[in-house]
Amino acid sequence: MNDNNHAAETGRMPVFFIPHGAGPCFFMDWSPANTWVRMEAFLKGLADTLPAGPTAIVLVSAHWLEPQFSVTGHARPPLIFDYHGFPQHTYELTYPAPGNPELAERVAQLLQQHGGEARIDSERGFDHGVFIPLKLMFPRAEIPIVQLSLRRDLDPAAHLEAGRALAALRDEGVLIIGSGMSFHNMPGYGDPRFSAISAEFDDWLSTAVESPPAERASLLEAWTQAPNARLCHPPGGEEHLLPLMVTAGAAAQSVGRRIYSEQVMQTTISAYRFG
């Protein structure tokens, strides 16, 4: 039985690693105008691939780093417009999805039970790594959301383990999403020299994700050894890749596969699904 059929029969949610684009790119004019069209369509179509509507979402965003894993405990999280230099209307976007303090407590407890430190942040809102893609995926903003931070040390093994701690939530209808970018070297965007560089790294990354689970974890833990790894994610700037580690950990024994890939601004960007 493949993972899609299994998910449909058991209600187990898949896990996604998705690209969230550049700031509020989907909600403004861009040049060329079609730069983000395919990515937008991909994100808008993801909800239709689920076995059921999620009971809640746990989303780990590249845009929240803390010394220890942190979880949003706000019942009505505000939005954090953590992008700069964009049109005024993009600072007036709304996404009034509720939080879920009870689920936040559960997430923190699961992380602690797996030997990690975790805290609840009852004040923090949702950054753009959360509300920008979710406005496309679930525009009604009705599903409760808990955001999980990255750990500031960006240790891949710790983030894989954090995902393993949360894997059981999938059987409770919770959708786990990693929101980042498979390529994120700012000077490389729009530079044709990075087309081949990013494609080679993307091929390696996709092979790693699609490997058997034990091998997948070993490869991702050692991702810095991949071809062009540090050209695609410079040292200390790999926060856009680390959500993938959490999702791969949460995948447990589920098979991973690339479900979207295209060249955006001269660089290859991909998304992955587990289960």
Is 6 a residue whose pLDDT tops 80? no
Q: What's the domain count of the chain?
A: 1
**Tell me, what's the pLDDT at 11?**
76
**Tell me, what's the pLDDT at 10?**
55
* For the chain, percent of residues with pLDDT exceeding 90: 95
Is 135 a residue whose pLDDT tops 80? yes
Is 5 a residue whose pLDDT tops 80? no
**Tell me, what's the pLDDT at 116?**
84
**Tell me, what's the pLDDT at 68?**
97
What is the band of 154 on the pLDDT scale with cuts at 50, 70, 90?
very high
Convert the chain into a string of H (helix), E (strand) and C (coil).
CCHHHHHHHHCCCCEEEEECCCCCHHHCCCCCCCCCHHHHHHHHHHHHHCCCCCCEEEEEEEEEEECCEEEECCCCCCECCCCCCCCHHHHCCCCCCCCCHHHHHHHHHHHHHCCCCEEEECCCCECHHHHHHHHHHCCCCCCCEEEEEEECCCCHHHHHHHHHHHHHHHHHCEEEEEEECCCCCHHHCCCCHHHHHHHHHHHHHHHHHCCCHHHHHHHHHCHHHCCCHHHHCCCCCHHHCHHHHHHHHHHCCCCEEEEEEEEECCEEEEEEEEC
CB within 8 A of 161, min separation 6: which ones?
Answer: 114, 115, 116, 249
CATH number at residue 198: 3.40.830.10
8: exposed, middle or buried (Cβ count in 10 Å: 0-12, 13-18, 19+): middle
Is 108 a residue whose pLDDT tops 90? yes
Is 7 a residue whose pLDDT tops 50? no
**Tell me, what's the pLDDT at 4?**
43
State phi, psi for 51 to the nearest 5 degrees.
-70, -20
Q: Which residue has the tokens 């049109």?
A: 87
What is the band of 115 on the pLDDT scale with cuts at 50, 70, 90?
confident
Q: Are 184 and 241 in contact (CB under 8 A)?
A: yes
Is 2 a residue whose pLDDT tops 90? no
Is 3 a residue whose pLDDT tops 60? no
Is 125 a residue whose pLDDT tops 90? yes
Is 55 a residue whose pLDDT tops 50? yes
Which one-letter amino acid corresponds to residue 237?
G
Q: Round the average pLDDT of the chain to a whole number and report it.
A: 96
Of the ranges 5-19, 130-144, 261-275, which one carries the lowest mean pLDDT score?
A: 5-19
Instruction: Summarize pLDDT for 175-200 with one digit per residue, the tens.
Output: 999 999 999 999 999 999 999 999 99
Q: Which residue has the tokens 């044709």?
A: 192
Of the ranges 5-19, 73-87, 120-134, which one carries the lowest mean pLDDT score?
A: 5-19
Range of the domain at 246: 3-274
Instruction: Summarize pLDDT for 201-242 with one digit per residue, the tens.
Output: 999 999 999 999 999 999 999 999 999 999 999 999 999 999
